[in-house]
Structure 1
Amino acid sequence: MAKAPDSTAVADKEQEGADTAVGVRRPPAPVAPRASRGFPSAVSRTGRVGALDGLRTLAVALVVVHHVEPDVLPGGAVAVDVFFTISGFVITRLLLAEYVRRGGISLMSFYRRRWMRLVPALLALCAVCALLASTTSLWGFDGSLQAAGLSAAFLTNVVRAMESGPYSELTRPLAHTWSLGVEEQFYLLWPLVLLFVLRRFRARTVLLCTAALCALPLLWRCVLWNPEAAHRIYNGTDTRADQLLAGALVAVALARLRSDDPRLTLLRTWSGRLAWPALALLGLVAWQVPVTEDLGVWTAVWYTVGFLAVAALSATLVMALELRPEARMSRLLALTPLAWVGRNLSYGIYLWHYPVVRLLASLGVNEGRLAATVVLTLLMALLSYYAIEKPFLRRARVGKMPAAAPALAVT
């Protein structure tokens, strides 16, 4: 059970070319303090972070290995948590930048761009799986018609959350799309909540509200926890929201601080010091901890406090990569091959890797299955990117509202 945002997902193409007409790297104009609406760095902090794209590549690689060789990386599903935090960070800073520039957030435009980014490639995947189910005898695609319908409606996580025992065959052919359901449901609700607090409170209170919201899923998980509720907690948007909100909290905090603010220097220093330990701890979990298995007391800790702890580690990484582009970790993750794959192919890799795993298993491929999965998944991701995702992303950018147009702020 894993994902890549958009997330899974997985790479978020809204960053690339976002509002270039107004110059996303240009700092806000030095006018009255009210012009920044309390977020003086919101507009200047919307450029693409190459190291985050490289982190996406690393995370999706963990997901693939976890699904092909679970004994090698029993905790590889933790990469999903990292993707959630990246997504929350990227989406929130784009929404903040729009709010500062226009005094509102065009919700319809936001939802349209999200649809263009996620849905066309997902529908293509669902169609292929349904076709294989109806025209072949491959057992790995039995039940794909129902699973495709749930995936296309972003409801896979809802169905899985309601199952107390072993997961049923209802979602199994496209089980990995549970995390897409979590992200899409978050995308539906979070802009409304953010716009509400932005319109009614000062920037400092917005930051405090976001931090408070991060704590609510932890409390809710503690209330819900029992072994029979494991699926409910693992798949629920309300029980996983703190991992997305941790990224949102980083975005809000950084947007509030000017480049010469001493608190920003403090964040830059400490995030840099903690980045490698955070990455090492996440790697240790992926390598040694079977996070989706029943391990007694450890499972109770993981399904309550553990999710928030991983969110904190992921948020530390995101902050370090944003604030310290010159650091060794940032330079390594921003290497062109890693950044390009994360930016352009991570979503396609996530979408296609699990059906490829099931295809090879149905064909009885055992020797070299990991290598075969990687090759076939990359081919399908490339096809998805150039034939589906890129054309729709181009249409999404062309369809953006002019910079001078008033925002349609719906509360």
Structure 2
Amino acid sequence: MPKPIGHSSRYNPAIDGIRTLAVLAVIFYHMKLAWMPGGLLGVAVFFTISGFLITGNLMRSWYRHGNLGLKTFWLRRLRRLMPAVILVVLVVWALTPFLAANKWADYRFGGLTAIFYVNNWASIVYGDSYFDQFEASPLEHMWSLSVEEQFYVFWPLVLFLFLVLARGRKATVVALTMVLAAASFGWMAYAHSLGYEATRIYEGTDTRAGSLLIGAVLAMLVTRRSAENGEETTSGRLFAEIAGLAGVAVVVGMMLRTDDNASYLYTYGLVLVGIASAGLLYGVSHQRTLVGRFLGSHQLPGWGSVATRFICGTCR
């Protein structure tokens, strides 16, 4: 996550440290390393981070200006994400005639779905399995960025509706968001019980929104209306210490022990990863905690800041 250039943004290097660990987990998963079968959970960690950062930005705007600044918000997301996506797609298109000419039609279509951020739904509709790693398109992994961009488009509108209906009462907005997250996770579990194909459940925006919304709930809880309007506060270093250590233990433990075929992922596993990721985020938001100091060291954020753009995008 590059350091923010605006005075209203806050850079926490420990969040880049979390991203680095998530990036490495995803890479190890696709390398099929036996000792980390659950590295795909790194994407779930990214989703919770994104929900946290995006909602924090929106809530600060609400406290400062009485609105979410949607036009500016959406333009910033577009400017931040689109150039990297277009570059990746153009490189793939340029190399395809030389390296995989017989796949040109598929990759051309895949590039368009990536640019318009509907890659996940295209994979679902056309039956492309995310878990068939050796046959996947080089653009197949754009699905997670598509989920995030769809969230960036629709969540601010839903949040604005919640704020208006609740007349700005944060407790009500938090409760409504928790209900929405529970509905997403509940639909995931129900779809799994009905025997839906794994890619449909794993890549669906509706089924994966819960992880993003857990991060959104955390952002609402730690963002306060103050004299400076919208300052983030984390009271209680001891609680933050416990939450951070417990969060990293659960996330790493599940990455080391969870197989991508585990059915519990779609019932309670991804819920647990989301909650643990929120605990980890709360822990590092108090930067003097042990986990905050370790993940905020200069080495970890440096390794992950560039790679994150091509896995789940940046959100600040």
Structures share a fold, TM > 0.5?
A: yes
- Please say if residues 66 and 72 of structure 1, whose CA atoms lie closer than 8 Å, have aligned partners that are also in contact: no
**Which residue of the other structure, out of 123, 142, 149, is the alignment partner of 1:160?**
123
Residues in 2 aligned to 1:166 and 1:89: alpha-carbon distance in whole angstroms:
29
| 1:359-398 to 2 correspondences below 5 Å | none
| 1:106-125 to 2 correspondences below 5 Å | 106-125=69-88
- Which digits, 9 at most, give the CA deviation of each residue in 1:114-137, with x for residues without a partner? 011111111100001011112334
Residue of structure 2 in register with 1:66 after alignment: 29
| 1:91-102 to 2 correspondences below 5 Å | 91-102=54-65
Partner AA of 1:232 in structure 2 = R
**Which residue of the other structure, out of 276, 301, 304, is the alignment partner of 1:339?**
301
Specify whether residues 185 and 140 from structure 1 end up closer, same or farther in structure 2 by C-alpha distance, changes over 3 A only: same
Residue 348 of structure 1: how far off its partner (Å): 4.1
- Please say if residues 74 and 288 of structure 1, whose CA atoms lie closer than 8 Å, have aligned partners that are also in contact: yes
| 1:177-188 to 2 correspondences below 5 Å | 177-188=142-153
Residue 254 of structure 1: how far off its partner (Å): 0.9
- Structure exhibiting the larger radius of gyration computed from Cα positions: 1
Residues in 2 aligned to 1:121 and 1:205: alpha-carbon distance in whole angstroms:
38
Contiguous gaps of at least 5 residues in structure 1: 1-10, 25-45, 353-388, 398-411
Give the number of equivalent residue pairs.
Answer: 306
- Please say if residues 132 and 141 of structure 1, whose CA atoms lie closer than 8 Å, have aligned partners that are also in contact: no
Residue of structure 2 in register with 1:6 after alignment: none
Tell me the SS of whatever aligns to 1:243: helix
| TM-score for both structures, normalised by structure 1 | 0.68
User: Is 2:251 the partner of 1:289?
Assistant: no
The two structures, once aligned, show a CA RMSD in angstroms of: 2.9
**Which residue of the other structure, out of 10, 14, 35, is the alignment partner of 1:51?**
14
Residues in 1 aligned to 2:293 and 2:177: alpha-carbon distance in whole angstroms:
30
- Which digits, 9 at most, give the CA deviation of each residue in 1:232-265, with x for residues without a partner? 1111111011100111101101114879xxx954
Which segment is superposed worse, 178-187 or 68-77? Answer: 68-77
- Which digits, 9 at most, give the CA deviation of each residue in 1:4-60, with x for residues without a partner? xxxxxxx3x5x7123x1xxx3xxxxxxxxxxxxxxxxxxxxx521111111111111
Residues in 2 aligned to 1:134 and 1:319: alpha-carbon distance in whole angstroms:
47
Residues in 2 aligned to 1:111 and 1:239: alpha-carbon distance in whole angstroms:
23
- Please say if residues 275 and 316 of structure 1, whose CA atoms lie closer than 8 Å, have aligned partners that are also in contact: yes
Residue of structure 2 in register with 1:214 after alignment: 181
User: Is 2:290 the partner of 1:328?
Assistant: yes
Residue of structure 1 in register with 2:230 after alignment: none
Tell me the SS of whatever aligns to 1:76: coil
Partner AA of 1:350 in structure 2 = I
**Which residue of the other structure, out of 311, 315, 333, is the alignment partner of 2:278?**
315
| 1:12-23 to 2 correspondences below 5 Å | 13=2, 16-18=4-6, 20=7
Tell me the SS of whatever aligns to 1:307: helix
Partner AA of 1:280 in structure 2 = A
Residue 227 of structure 1: how far off its partner (Å): 3.2
Partner AA of 2:180 in structure 1 = L
**Which residue of the other structure, out of 148, 153, 156, is the alignment partner of 2:111?**
148
Residue of structure 1 in register with 2:47 after alignment: 84
Tell me the SS of whatever aligns to 2:223: helix
User: Is 2:71 the partner of 1:103?
Assistant: no
User: Is 2:220 the partner of 1:252?
Assistant: yes
- Please say if residues 165 and 228 of structure 1, whose CA atoms lie closer than 8 Å, have aligned partners that are also in contact: no
- Which digits, 9 at most, give the CA deviation of each residue in 1:325-366, with x for residues without a partner? 111111111111222333x413345389xxxxxxxxxxxxxx
Partner AA of 1:191 in structure 2 = P
**Which residue of the other structure, out of 300, 311, 314, is the alignment partner of 1:350?**
311
- Which digits, 9 at most, give the CA deviation of each residue in 1:126-155, with x for residues without a partner? 001011112334789883222111111111
Residues in 2 aligned to 1:117 and 1:96: alpha-carbon distance in whole angstroms:
20
Residue 320 of structure 1: how far off its partner (Å): 0.9
Partner AA of 1:92 in structure 2 = T
Tell me the SS of whatever aligns to 2:10: coil
Residues in 1 aligned to 2:283 and 2:97: alpha-carbon distance in whole angstroms:
48
Residues in 1 aligned to 2:42 and 2:189: alpha-carbon distance in whole angstroms:
23
**Which residue of the other structure, out of 153, 163, 188, is the alignment partner of 1:198?**
163
Residues in 2 aligned to 1:302 and 1:108: alpha-carbon distance in whole angstroms:
37
Residues in 1 aligned to 2:38 and 2:116: alpha-carbon distance in whole angstroms:
28
Partner AA of 2:197 in structure 1 = A
User: Is 2:131 the partner of 1:131?
Assistant: no
